């Protein structure tokens, strides 16, 4: 009987718990008319901090569409619009720092990507809320693919 109960727990409850963890990412994101988005568990950074992290070689993820990425992005940033755990893991390890950005404070793509990364076990997650517009406004260079 003990084996049956243990088998039930492993076979049926573990996938339920995993599915629950996968869906809870949305609870980490809050929106405000005055301040845009916030992501519980991620560190929100400004353009100056983003530049410092960039200069240190931290991985940047552009959450905008590939079309937008091609129009100009933070140098070296990877385009990852349709984020999945496997796709993110191909770019950056769970123990590494990662910065997510998108089209600015009114864009929900990067806060949602941050939240997903956090639920997948990433701990060093930065949310660059000002995104590409903030980077550009600070006078930092953009890159365009040839």
pTM metric for this prediction: 0.81
Q: What is the mean pLDDT of the chain?
A: 85
**CA 118, CA 45: separation in Å to the nearest integer?**
16
Q: State phi, psi for 92 to the nearest 5 degrees.
A: -145, 140
Q: Which residues, in sequence order, are bridge partners of residue 99?
A: 60, 126
Domains, in order of start, for the chain: 27-137 (3.40.250.10)
Compute the average pLDDT of residues 1-8: 44
**CA 143, CA 86: separation in Å to the nearest integer?**
26
Q: Is 82 exposed, middle or buried (0-12, 13-18, 19+ CB in 10 A)?
A: exposed
Q: How many CA atoms lie within 13 A of 39 on its CB side?
A: 32
Strand 29-32 relative to strand 36-39, pairing = antiparallel
Say what the pLDDT of residue 10 is: 37
Cβ contacts of 6 within 8 Å, gap of 6 or more: none
The CA-based angle 125-127-129, given to 5 degrees, is 180
pLDDT tens track for 52-108: 999 999 999 999 999 999 999 999 999 999 889 999 999 999 999 999 999 999 999
């Amino acid at each position: 009987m003990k084996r049956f109960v243990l088998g039930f727990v492993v076979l049926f409850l573990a996938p339920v718990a995993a599915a629950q963890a996968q869906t809870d990412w949305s609870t980490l994101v809050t929106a405000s008319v005055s301040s845009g988005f916030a992501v519980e568990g991620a560190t929100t950074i400004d353009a100056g901090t983003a530049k410092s992290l960039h200069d240190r070689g931290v991985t940047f993820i552009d959450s905008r569409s590939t079309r937008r990425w091609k129009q100009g992005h933070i140098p070296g940033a990877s385009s990852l619009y349709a984020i999945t755990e496997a796709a993110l893991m191909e770019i950056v390890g769970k123990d590494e720092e990662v910065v997510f950005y998108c089209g600015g404070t009114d864009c929900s793509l990067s806060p949602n990507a941050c939240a997903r990364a956090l639920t997948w076990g990433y701990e060093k997650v930065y949310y660059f809320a000002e995104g590409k517009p903030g980077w550009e406004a600070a006078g930092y260079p953009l890159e365009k693919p040839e």
